[in-house]
Structure 1
Amino acid sequence: MTGRLASVNLGIVTEAEWAGDASGRSGIDKRPVDGPVLLRADGVAGDFIGEPAHHGGPDQAVYAYAEEDAGWWATEIGRAIRPGGFGENLTTYAVDVTGAVIGEQWAVGSALLQVTKPRTPCRTFAGFWGVPDLIKRFTVRAMPGAYLRVLREGEVGAGDPVEVVDRPAHGVTIGEVFRALNLEPELLPRLLDAPDLPEPLRQKARRRLAARG
């Protein structure tokens, strides 16, 4: 089944003591917008990124999170989570984001996107939600959302279909990469089967495998 975009979200400037960059500003608070938004190879037009050293760039140009996974968290913490509440640019519906294969391609609007890596939870995320143990809980749940490359720049908007147009045969998923790096080190060899996984993560997998002997 082809999924769709529930919303497209852009970050606003948030100043807080938990914000990650040196100026105390973060772009994690993203809000749904009306109309089309341009996805560029280096990021989302109009989005604010507070820590460019750790967020954005070609391998993390766009961040997607599933509306269904957000619903689980709303029940877990006992409060509503609006679209963009995970700092995601794209809130999806009926898209298996955790099960997306590294390197698979999504046609969305006039853009072509490629799944690259899972999100790693950080202190800024925990501070934004006001849940001190969120990093641990987010890690254990292992529904991290997916970063995407922009293979073809284009405009997207709420309601646009999300169509998987190519899926690599290796089968290494977003969820598997996240679990390998955070929960199940026995999965680390699988990461080397995914050529489209960003090289820093492939190198991390090699180092950990070498350390394990």
Structure 2
Amino acid sequence: MNTASLLAVCRVHQLLPDPEGSAGVTAIDKRPVEGPVKIHKLGVHGDVQANRIDHGGADQALYAYSQADADYWSAALDRELPAGVFGENLRVDGIETTGAVIGERWKIGLDVEVEVTSPRVPCATFQRLLDEPQWVKRFTQAGRVGTYLRVIKTGTVSAGDHIHRLFVPKHGITVGQWFSEPTPDMVQTLLDAEADGEIRLQDEYHEKFEKVLRRNGL
């Protein structure tokens, strides 16, 4: 299957004051780290989340963002956007993040295995850190959101490791499609895939399913 690469592994550099946020501080300031880094069930060793209600947990253990999407934003904003500036743990190249299929599995390096879970939803803290006007709106409209990952097998990773796509579910719905325009047909497709044992959906999907169906009068 396709081979891609891990450009950088990032974790929190420092907690920043965020008086407008729910926790008063934010851990969104992620920066690349040197050498092999342990990946646990809850993410990168040494990383933290200040707001653990909306961030972190096993289903959002890692956040991956692609270099292609970073390059898009670098051109649009006319500024350098180094690894970590999106709050990502993994900056990757040659593999889709927004275009990853829900339930897709990757192997990173020799032993780490991860599973695509859900799209990243931008927040006001993200906008304050980047200091770009209307950033949440722009990021949402562009739909280049990246993906959260569940850790299936722990181990160590390093910048430069290969990423191998191990499994792509047949249902074909990507995190970007689900983020941009969830439909009743998508709901049924994902429910069928879950019932068949092809994927394991996190609870927030079932909560969103109800909202999508109600919005469409179903």
TM-score by length of 1: 0.92
Name the CA distance, whole Å, in 1 between partners of 2:9 and 2:84. 8
Deviation at 1:20, TM superposition (A): 2.8
> Is 1:99 aligned to residue 103 of structure 2?
no
Residue of structure 2 in register with 1:113 after alignment: 114
Residue of structure 2 equivalent to 1:134: 135
3-state SS of paired residue (2:189): coil
Q: Which runs of 5+ in 2 are unaligned?
A: 195-199
Aligned pair count reads 207
Given the alignment, which residue of 196, 202, 206 partners 1:198? 202
In structure 1, the gaps of 5 or more residues are none
- Report the more deviating stretch, 112-121 or 92-101: 92-101
Structure 1 residues 168, 115: closer, same or farther in 2, change over 3 A?
A: same
1:175-203 CA-to-partner distances (Å, cap 9, x unmatched) read: 111112xxxx5x34314423333221232
2:64 is aligned to 64
Kept after mapping to 1: 8 A contact 2:120/2:148: yes
Q: Which residue of 1 aligns with 2:90?
A: 90
Q: Aligned-pair distance for 1:42?
A: 1.8
User: Which runs of structure 2 are paired with 1:1-213 in the superposition (5 Å)?
Assistant: 1-17=2-18, 20-22=21-23, 24-109=24-109, 110-180=111-181, 185=182, 187-194=183-190, 195=194, 196-213=200-217
Normalised by the size of structure 2, how large is the TM-score?
Answer: 0.90
Structure 1 position 48, deviation (Å): 2.3
Quickly say closer, same or farther: Cα 1:188–1:45, change in 2 above 3 A. Answer: farther
Q: Does the aligned pair in 1 maintain the 2:10–2:84 contact within 8 Å?
A: yes
Q: How far has the Cα of 1:3 moved from its partner?
A: 0.5
Amino acid at match of 2:166: V
C-alpha RMSD over aligned residues: 1.5
**Contact 2:16 / 2:29 at 8 angstroms: preserved in 1?**
no
